[in-house]
Amino acid sequence: MKAESILMAIWLAAASLSAGAAQLYQWKDAQGRTVYSDQPPPPSIKNAQQKAFKGNVIEIGESYDAKTAREKYPVTLYASACGIPCDQARQLLTQRGVPFSGKDPQASPEAQAELKKLTGRLSVPVLVVGSERVDGFEAGQWQTALDRAGYPKSAPPGRKPVPAATSTPAPAASAP
């Protein structure tokens, strides 16, 4: 009987090691319910996410709502070194966990031409969420535009996004 217990313990340990690198799939079913499974979703499911987990920790990527918002309503921020308004604009997007393309009209002639075509002038900051444009920084207007697009109210705990892409050159490192 004791040998059976030892064999069972060995088998359970081996099973838990193989489960340590298991895959988990997440998707919404036809009724809008979130489904988690260790089996891939049916072929008819379009927006499934695959997650890896080790032990009892699941590595969570972008939420379904955030991914949908990003795909339908991409965000572009036209900003430069304009001081407080541009800094607050970047901070708001980062705090909400919104991936965005940053474009600096002072550093890029292409961004300057885009902004001029978009607004008729070169004033920054300008937020573009899908096809909606908000000129100047006013937190309430920006929050409303992001809410309408379905972006999350805050970044996931412990995560702050890096802008999706930027035409702003990285600052040069200074020597000590």
Q: How do residues 44-72 score in pLDDT, each as one tens digit?
A: 777 777 766 555 555 556 677 778 888 99
Residue-wise pLDDT tens digits, 20-45: 455 677 878 888 888 877 777 887 77
Contact 111, 104 (CB under 8 A): yes
Q: What is the pLDDT of residue 131?
A: 95
Residue 15 placed within a domain: no
- Asked if 128 and 64 count as a contact pair (C-beta separation under 8 A), the reply is no
Most confident option among 2-16, 20-34, 113-127, 148-162: 113-127
Residues 6+ apart with CB under 8 A from 69: 149, 150, 151
The per-residue pLDDT for 6 is 59
- Tens of pLDDT, residues 109-145: 999 999 999 999 999 999 999 999 999 999 999 999 9
Helices in the chain by DSSP H: which ranges? 2-19, 64-72, 84-96, 109-119, 139-149
For the domain that residue 153 is a member of, what is the CATH number? Answer: 3.40.30.10
Mean pLDDT lowest among 1-10, 35-44, 73-82, 100-109: 1-10
Tokens representing 153 are 């109210």
In a domain, 7, yes or no: no
Question: Could you tell me which residues are beta bridge partners of residue 57?
Answer: 54
Residue type, 47: N
The 8-class DSSP code of residue 97 comes to: T
Are 162 and 80 within one domain?
Answer: yes
Lookup result for tokens 């070194």: 81
Q: Is residue 16 part of a domain?
A: no
What's the pLDDT score for residue 157?
65
Report cis status (omega within 30 of 0) of the bond before 157: no
Q: How confident is the model at residue 172 (pLDDT cuts 50, 70, 90)?
A: very low
Instruction: Determine, yes or no, domain membership for 152.
Output: yes
Query: Are 57 and 73 found together in one domain?
Result: no
> How far apart are the C-alpha atoms of 65 and 34, rounded to whole Å?
12
14 within domain boundaries? no
Structural domain of residue 141, as residue ranges? 67-166
Domain tally for the chain? 2
| 128 assigned to some structural domain | yes
**Residue 3 counted as domain residue:** no
